[in-house]
A = this chain, B = another copy of it.
Amino acid sequence: MELKGALLFGQSGGPTSVINASACGVFQTAFTHDCITRVYGAAHGIKGVLDDCLYDINAEDRQQIALLRNTPSSALGSVRYKLRDAEDNETDYLRILEIFQKYNIRYFLYNGGNDSMDTCYKVGKYLTEHNYPCRIVGVPKTVDNDLYSTDHCPGYGSAAKYIATTCMELSLDGRVYDKGTAVIIEIMGRNAGWLTAASAVASYAGQGPDLIYLPEKPFSIEKFIDDAEVVYARKGSVIVAISEGIRDKDGKYIVEYASENDRDMFNHIQLGGVSGYLASIIKQRLDIKVRGIELSLMQRCASHLASERDVEEAYQAGAEAVKLAVAGSSNIMVAFNRVSNNPYRMVITPVSLEAVANYEKKVPDRYIKDNFIDESFLDYVLPLIEGEAHPPFINGVPQFAKLRKVIAQVD
């Protein structure tokens, strides 16, 4: 059953290297469907809807849209805004309905992680209940890879590739001096250790961390010092990868200990800093040269070293979302279903939005060894970091998309 009207696409949550690749897939595919009368981009996700601030994507240069494929971050702007339940407060929903009617939006595609799928789900439920025909499709993304009911998430592969590569480079750099060193590399992941686990790819390639700690297992500072001492005694250096979200057996974040010691409350430490804290402890206890390193935002925006497979899959997720919506699907998220590993084959499968929202997928026990990652994890992760994608380079630096961002007007 054909539904004629405009398509609105929004980006939400933390940006990744490939969130714009999904945008590229959505836009380029939407342009090919006659039933889609106009393509809009929401400025800063759902906030742009509430503020009546939509960009007219039809007004964009097609070459800039093509460049989105390899441009990091969220070109339309992102937001962290959680819709309340409509039963508690209908204000936002009334406004969303008003704006959808104003622009005749009949396709709403939303790109993001857990919270964004929750937004999608709530909007879809409300519009259905109020008999406003609109096809709602969630497009997954998150570097954290913690989305439920999908084998993996767009954004993860590229971040994992950057982390593995950077850990190799840091391992070579960190072991260079005759006097031993401890290098502690802090990786994103508050509750799920998927990104930190990717550092093991470097280790299995022979040039990576000696010790890897995920937030899934309780972290003991004493045990950590013992582990580091054993490695250091053997190798004269120790390279450690830790997740920013490591916690002790009582569930307290290790970084909280750092903040407590830090009387002046440097923001630096609040915004991470567990690597610096552990480095200072290692220095005190083992009396060796230390360096705490945060991969910080680089790990989620280094599109110069994106995974080709990740970029392609992110693009396909956007393209398939449009195709499924046009074909009649709604209130779904496009999920990745890994059919086989050797050769790698993935099919995009729609899953119910209700099933996805607000669950977190952790790294399973079988992949986690005491202070390291089991080799079987490589079967999972290697296909996701396969191939090197990068933007075109001009004058030695990347050429990233620059959108005109013309504010949409309707009469």
Contact = CB atoms under 8 A, between A and B. Distances in A.
Contact of A168 (B269, B275, B398): B398
Interface string A155-167: 0000001001110
A44 B180 CA distance: 12
A299 B27 CA distance: 35
Given A165-B304, A262-B264, A72 B173 contact: yes
- Summarize A's interface: helix, strand, loop or mixed: mixed
A366 interface: no
A208 to B, nearest CB: 9
Interface stretch (A32-40, A83-91, A246-254, A384-392): A384-392
Contact of A291 (B165, B292, B297): B297
A170 B294 CA distance: 14
A111 interface: no
A296 B300 contact: no
Contact of A205 (B173, B382, B397): B397
A41 B388 CA distance: 33
Nearest to A270: B280
State how many copies of this chain the complex holds: 2
Contacts of A294: 293-294, 296
A303 interface: yes
A402 interface: yes
A237 to B, nearest CB: 11
B297 A44 contact: no
Contact of A166 (B73, B258, B264, B298): B298
A317 interface: no
A178 B45 CA distance: 9
Interface stretch (A74-82, A125-133, A318-326): A74-82
6 contacts: A15-B173, A44-B177, A77-B176, A166-B298, A262-B266, A388-B393
Interface of A: 15, 43-44, 47, 71-74, 77-80, 161, 164-166, 168-170, 172-178, 183, 201-202, 205-207, 258, 261-269, 271, 273, 275-277, 279-280, 283, 290-298, 300-305, 307, 382, 385-388, 390, 393-398, 400, 402
4 closest A-B pairs by CB: A268-B276, A385-B396, A73-B172, A173-B301
